Structure 1
Amino acid sequence: MQIYMKPTRKERTELVRRMQAARGRLGLSYAALGERAGVDASQVSRICRGEYATFSDSVVRICTVLGERLRSGDAEPLPALPAARRTDAAWAKLERSVRSAWDETPAGAERLAKVIAAVGGDRPPLALGTFQSDPIFLWRRQHFPPICRTTSGEGRQGGKLGVRKDLAESLLAKIMDWSDDEKAAERAYLESFASYKYDEYQQFSPGRRFIESLALWLGQFDPGANRRAAYDFVRRRLLFISNNEMNHLVELTFPTVVRPILISDTAQALGVHPCRVKAIVRETEYRKRLRQTLVLGLSDGARTDWFRRANPQEMSNEQVFHAYDVSDAKTGGMVEDLGKHLGKILGRDATAEEARFRYVVLLDDFTGSGTSFIREDGKGGWTGKIAKIVANLMTAGNLGDAIADEGVKIIIVLYVAADQAIDHIEELLPSLAFGKGTIAFHVIHKLGTSTPLDDERDKAILSLVGDERYFDDDADDEHSKVGKASKQFGFAGCRLPLVLAHNTPNNSVYLLWAEEDQRVLGLFPRVSRHRKLQ
């Protein structure tokens, strides 16, 4: 994070007055000023209206073109912009894109240069001096030195974090025994993916990032073939789902699963063809069914907050809840709000039967085996998340009284699921009785049959996974019995190479997620829901 000096309200007002006067004096439109300064015209307009919080690079560039100091009392003038920067529109566009992605550290500049070089094929990478020789950059670094915030919240001047990353990269090159050419090629790849995805992993210990974690992780293996096998696994088989990617799957849930079901049911009730979507969604019947939809999260990974914000015109806050274990008071409030809103939709008071939910949408982020959702309890019955909520919906009181007595649809939506889990759930779900209606199961993104590690294709990494030196017996606890296999190859033997940005699932191979209190180092250490008491 970069923090620069903020102007006072008086200083900002004074600067806006001087900028507007200078722009009028020079006869420059926002577009012309933006072209000369290398700043987008819309941003120029906002800055000239005083809509900025700090003396940012864009503010400095605009003032430079206008010949104005940031503060009227400043003795030192701003450096002149190179003429080429003012006239080369293509370079200005590229420069704006680079600056928006740069953290203004030398290491950050080098990382971006490597990324651009990788995109450009064999063309030489951008020189670090391309950025550091910029007079605007030098002026800002002299007057407003950035403060780098560490993950622990401590502020440091300059690029000490970059130095630490450089040390981790040097350690990695030494561990892998790379030549200079290999180091250059692999560094570009690793830095690109570290900044794009891997560094956002939420369970890294304070101060640690991906490249450092990778160096330590590789160091535990025997030099030579074993380390190369482990690195090749990361390079070619690791599957990392970022927060943005998971949020995108959340955003797809309503338009691709829930809405089509509501449209189909409404069309059937009205006796019209379901392809008449625009006409159907305007109907009172559709709006009624939409409001009679209750959305519940099956875990904290359900991201119900993001689901609600992604569909503000469709879903009310009162019909989305983050958990399926709902208190009596909360349930009563949701039913009361449902009746009030239906009254507005129908133009009359809703009946007691109408003021009950007819659709229950259950959301969760991931399953690898499916056993946590539904499985036999060994006593002739069922257990798991789905079984528990179905039993709750069939029981008088609480959610059981909040839903209709018949014609209810339970819609289970998982954002990501392995084929093993899909097969398991689809096999057992028809045997789970729901006397008030039906149960449907949907997956937004299926990992596919090629995702799990294969005995032939992934022989090298599987030999390390199966090596007892790289497995801590403490990882196998009473919960492993549910999966009927050791967690060495992942819970329930899933063999996944998967990492989620917020936590690594235990369905992935143990070498990926070994917890920090165990003797084996995990590349993306997992924080378990079932913590042992010390």
Structure 2
Amino acid sequence: MPESEKYAQAFMKNELAFTLIGQQLQWSDSDFEKEFRELQLMVDHKYDSYQGFQPATRFHVALLNWLSQFPTLPQRQTAYNFVKDRLIFISQREMHHLVSMLMPIVERLERKRIAAELRIPLFQTELQPAATSRIELLRRRTLFVGLSDGARIDVFRRYNEGRISNEQVVAFSEISDNKWVDLQQELKKSIARRGFSDENPWFEVVCLVDDFSGSGSSLLRYKNGEWKGKIYKFYEANKSRIKDKLAPNCLLHIHHHLATEQAKCQIEEDLERFSKEFQEFEYMVTFSFVLPGDIVINDNDHCVDLVELLKSWYDAGIADDHTGPDIWYGYKNCGLPLVLEHNTPNNSVALLWATSKDGANLQMKPLFARRKRHSSNG
């Protein structure tokens, strides 16, 4: 079939789907023409790429099914306007751009650190041989570790081929003893080849990388008199490696490609408290981009109809032991209108991702079905 015919058929299918959507929303002909053009642009460039859709399913089908759950026209209009005006969808290309921003952040931190060590202005780190040599050593003594399967550590490595070694990139934070031995042996060979054979083969910086933080609680939290979270787990597993595989006062550099303003504040506050108690490491946190606080939906939102819909069209059965109850604004009440191309965070409003169990009195249908990382059945 010629490409022109395929395009024509796809266009007709999309137009039919949007015709049915228009009927649900009681669009006039002029409404349909305007809405179809604007929404189709976002569908083509973003929404159809969502990885949570079933095979052969596209956004317009999900939207049609999602809108059909609401019994009244005002509810459907409120839901549609929410998607059109408030939804933030981070595409794969956008996420990869955020990943690419990590290395410039690392390089800036390296230069600031060496400038402080050598007591020279920052710009002199570009000119003085002692500074450039020290930066080269520090770069090789930096280990990049993924904190989750969403960290895109493979993408980061490909973006920086020739600038970092494959032997200083680790996909998962649970590093075995044998892997640590391999990492140190490769580090020793590498610094010897660079003419630093008299230097200790240990890592000065460990950069812990993750994709997104909505509340900050999975990274670090103090609960029931004890610390929990990814940072604490890494600390407990590796504090014994200091002065062996890790340099004294090794820097734990925690980086997120994307975070909310709430998460940024919470992480910085918790990390400051944590660092005073566990001083074997130094700590730093950075972000490629922080979502502004004004995107959050809560009881004070200017759209009263949306708040009413989020609360009234809510099935309490979607909550579990991990999320806690009353999560119409999402986990930890983050109230995000956010979808990532590979999954929808549970910090986003439940209306976007929740699926009711069979037999529930109120059947919530997702627009962007979520894959759970946590299970209450374990």
TM-score by length of 2: 0.92
Deviation of the 1:165 alpha carbon: 2.9
Q: Distance in 1 between matches of 2:162 and 2:251?
A: 22
- Deviation, 1:277, is 4.3
Corresponding residue of 2:161: 312
With over 3 angstroms needed to count, the CA separation of the structure-2 counterparts of 1:315 and 1:403, relative to structure 1, is: same
Instruction: Give the total of aligned pairs.
Output: 370
Does 2:311 align with 1:462? no
Larger radius of gyration: 1
**Partner AA of 2:237 in structure 1:** N
Aligned counterparts of 1:456 and 1:342: Cα–Cα separation in 2: 56
Whether 1:275 and 2:120 are equivalent positions in the alignment is no
Give the direction of change, closer, same or farther, for the CA distance of 1:407–1:214 in structure 2 (3 Å limit): same
**Corresponding residue for residue 505 of structure 1:** 345
Match of 2:289 in 1: 445
Q: 1:165-180 residue pairs with structure 2 within 5 A?
A: 165-180=14-29
Aligned to 1:416: 258
Structure 1 match to 2:328:
488
Question: Are residues 1:357 and 2:203 paired?
Answer: yes
Contact 1:284–1:345, Cα closer than 8 Å, also in 2: no
Question: 1:462: Cα distance to partner?
Answer: 1.4
What is the aligned partner in structure 1 of residue 71 from structure 2? Answer: 222
Shift, 1:270, TM fit: 3.1
CA 322–205 in structure 1, closer or farther in 2 if over 3 Å, else same: same
After the TM superposition, which residues 136-147 of structure 1 pair with which residues of structure 2 at under 5 Å, given as runs?
A: none
In structure 2, relative to structure 1, the CA distance for the partners of 1:382 and 1:162 (3 Å cut) is: same
Matches of 2:128 and 2:216, distance apart in 1: 36
Give secondary structure in 2 for the equivalent of 1:309. Answer: helix
- Kindly provide the amino acid, as one letter, of the partner of residue 187 in structure 1: F
Q: Gaps (5+ residues) in structure 1?
A: 5-103, 110-158
Question: Hey, what's the Cα distance between the residues in 2 that align with 1:350 and 1:233?
Answer: 61
Residue 190 of structure 1 and its aligned partner are, at CA, apart by 1.1
The TM-score with structure 1 as length reference comes to: 0.66
Residues 82-93 of structure 1 correspond to what in structure 2 (within 5 A)?
none
Root-mean-square deviation (CA, aligned residues, Å) is 2.2
Q: CA deviation at 1:516?
A: 7.5
Q: Which runs of 5+ in 2 are unaligned?
A: none
For residues 280 and 332 of structure 1, the distance between their equivalents in structure 2, rounded to whole angstroms, comes to 34
Instruction: Tell me, yes or no, if the aligned pair for 1:366 and 1:416 is still in contact at 8 Å.
Output: yes
* Matched ranges for 1:258-407 at <5 A: 258-279=106-127, 283-346=132-195, 349-351=197-199, 354-378=200-224, 380-396=225-241, 401-404=244-247, 406-407=248-249
Displacement, 1:105?
4.1
Alpha carbons 1:453, 1:495 under 8 Å: kept: yes
Q: Name the structure where strand makes up a greater proportion of residues.
A: 2
Match 1:515 to one of 323, 339, 355: 355
Tell me, yes or no, if the aligned pair for 1:394 and 1:435 is still in contact at 8 Å: no
Of 47, 68, 73 in structure 2, the residue corresponding to residue 198 of structure 1 is 47
Mapped to 1, the partners of 2:76 and 2:309 lie a distance apart of 10
Distance 1:303 1:213 in 2: 27
* Separation (CA, whole Å) in 1 of partners of 2:320 and 2:62: 26
Deviation at 1:410, TM superposition (A): 0.9
Alignment partner, residue 368 of structure 2: 524
CA contact (8 A) 1:284 1:346 kept: no
> Higher mean Cα deviation, 269-278 or 501-510?
269-278
CA-to-aligned-CA distance 1:138-190 (integer Å, 9 cap, x gap): xxxxxxxxxxxxxxxxxxxxx4x555433322211111111111111100011
Deviation of 1:531 (Å): 4.2
